[in-house]
Amino acid sequence: MLLFQDVVDETQLGEFASEEKTLSVIDLIFNGGTGSIVIISVLFVMLAVAMYIYFERLLAIKAASKIDKNFMNQIRDHITGGKIESAKILCAQTDSPVARLVEKGISRIGKPLDDINTAIENAGTLEVYKLEKNVTVLATVAGAAPMIGFLGTVIGMILAFHQMATSGGQAEMGALASGIYTAMTTTVAGLVVGIIAYVGYNHLVNRTDKVIHKMEANATEFLDLLSEPV
């Protein structure tokens, strides 16, 4: 009889351990109390916004970086041949920041080189602004998400210590664990969202810098073309 009871106890312990091991992400969210659910919901919205901006900007930057390798050679041939209108048409047909910069410079041909350079720089500023549109939101999410997670940590710890204070030091472990549980889950969620947004932001900045470098190189090539002796 004793041996049978030991087997039953071991079976119950095994089932209990199995239940503990199968704790899902959803359980982690919804078992942390109202404060945990609210804060993690806010973090989830921030993550969705960050992911949308990341992929939208990534596609836009990828499209902006595409340009025909023979584009500047064709521009050179048109300008040296006096075909200014043909050069403008080529720029209009090419949807890229480089083409728009060159088109702005072509429209100023005949004016001093400094004026052309200034016009290209102003156009370049607008193109960079378009490339960096909403990217700062990722930086904001990267900084704010961990702070919101830590806010959940503070709230959870306050709840735990409040329970201890109001119970005269006789607080149940379950009540204390609930507050600490809220603190830990929100911290992890905030760090995860912050890391994802931070990595996405830096990747977009790196890709944008490459496009800007390409714009500057082609703009310099265009200005050198105009300064060449006829």
List of residues 6+ apart from 60 with CB closer than 8 A: 130, 131, 133
- What is the pTM for the complete model shown? 0.75
Residue 49: pLDDT above 90?
yes
Question: What's the confidence (pLDDT) of residue 6?
Answer: 47
| Local structure of 6: helix, strand or coil | helix
- The token duo for 9 is 């106890």
Residue 3: pLDDT above 50?
no
Q: Which amino acid is at 65?
A: S
- Taking only the tens place, the pLDDT of each residue in 89-103 is 888 888 888 888 888
- Taking only the tens place, the pLDDT of each residue in 196-205 is 999 999 999 9
- Taking only the tens place, the pLDDT of each residue in 221-230 is 888 887 765 5
Measured between alpha carbons, how far is 5 from 105 in angstroms, rounded to an integer?
Answer: 90
Residue 11: pLDDT above 60?
no
Could you tell me if 120 and 101 are in contact, meaning their C-beta atoms sit under 8 angstroms apart? yes
Residue 56: pLDDT above 90?
yes
Question: What's the confidence (pLDDT) of residue 204?
Answer: 94
Question: What's the confidence (pLDDT) of residue 45?
Answer: 93
- Taking only the tens place, the pLDDT of each residue in 141-190 is 999 999 998 887 777 777 666 666 676 656 566 555 655 666 678 888 89
Residue 81: pLDDT above 90?
no
Mean pLDDT (whole number) for 6-30: 48
List of residues 6+ apart from 99 with CB closer than 8 A: 67, 71, 90, 91, 92
Could you tell me if 222 and 124 are in contact, meaning their C-beta atoms sit under 8 angstroms apart? no
**Least confident residue range of 7-11, 104-108, 130-134, 188-192:** 7-11
Q: 71-80 vs 173-227: helix axis angle to the nearest 10?
A: 30
Question: What's the confidence (pLDDT) of residue 30?
Answer: 53
